[in-house]
């Protein structure tokens, strides 16, 4: 358990195959990064070495970058490594810190699931629109946003359930 995290250990444990590979988010981010790296490398190579630049590089790299950012944010949230400023909250009692952490997590869950729902709506609306070169649906980028916020919301639910368990254990030990 991390001593500096009021809600208990912020990481969500993985079981099964994902415990060997890392988290689902980490697998998606690594795939997006590899595709992004290969695509941009090919773009540079085709522009400066072959002198026939590939026009599709920007489309693929922007999709990969979107997935990398939003699903990567979900991975950072799963690890509990988002930047936080505790200048004010560090002065609260541990009990108040735990309660505030639960309130913040609940608000974050609501926000993330709401944005994921908006992402689904936008993905459906943009599915008929395509990119200019490869004619890929624009919804591919919005699916990265949707998956990232949905995963942050689901990981938030897992963390919130963990916080409730930790809070109950602390409360029980305080009454004994």
- Averaged pLDDT, 4-26: 59
pLDDT for residue 69 is more than 90? yes
The pLDDT value recorded for residue 165 is 87
pLDDT at 23 over 80: yes
Can you give the pTM of this predicted structure? Answer: 0.82
Whether residue 127 has pLDDT greater than 80:
yes
Asked if the model's pLDDT at residue 32 lies above 80, the reply is yes
Residues 6+ apart with CB under 8 A from 39: 57, 60, 61, 64
Give residue 3's pLDDT band: very low, low, confident or very high (50, 70, 90): very low
| pLDDT value of position 11 | 54
Q: Is the pLDDT at 24 greater than 70, yes or no?
A: yes
Task: Kindly state the average pLDDT of the residues 49-68.
Answer: 92
Task: Calculate mean pLDDT across residues 113-127.
Answer: 96
Predicted local confidence at residue 84, as pLDDT: 85
Q: Considering only 16-25, 27-36, 87-96, 139-148, which range has the smallest mean pLDDT?
A: 16-25
Q: What is the pLDDT of residue 170?
A: 75
pLDDT above 50 (res 96): yes
């Amino acid at each position: 358990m991390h001593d500096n995290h009021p809600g208990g250990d912020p990481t969500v444990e993985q079981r099964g195959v994902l415990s060997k590979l890392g988290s689902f988010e980490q697998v998606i981010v690594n795939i997006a990064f590899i595709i992004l790296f290969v695509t941009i490398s090919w773009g540079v190579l085709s522009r400066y070495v072959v002198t026939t630049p590939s026009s599709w590089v920007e489309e693929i790299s922007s999709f990969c970058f979107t997935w990398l950012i939003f699903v990567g944010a979900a991975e950072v949230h799963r690890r509990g490594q988002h930047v936080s400023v505790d200048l004010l909250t560090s002065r609260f009692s541990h009990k108040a810190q735990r309660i505030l952490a639960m309130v913040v997590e609940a608000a974050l869950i609501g926000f993330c699931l709401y944005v994921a729902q908006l992402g689904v709506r936008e993905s459906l609306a943009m599915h008929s629109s395509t990119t200019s070169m490869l004619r890929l649906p624009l919804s591919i980028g919005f699916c990265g946003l949707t998956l990232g916020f949905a995963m942050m919301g689901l990981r938030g639910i897992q963390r919130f359930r963990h916080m409730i368990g930790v809070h109950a254990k602390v409360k029980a030990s305080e009454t004994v």
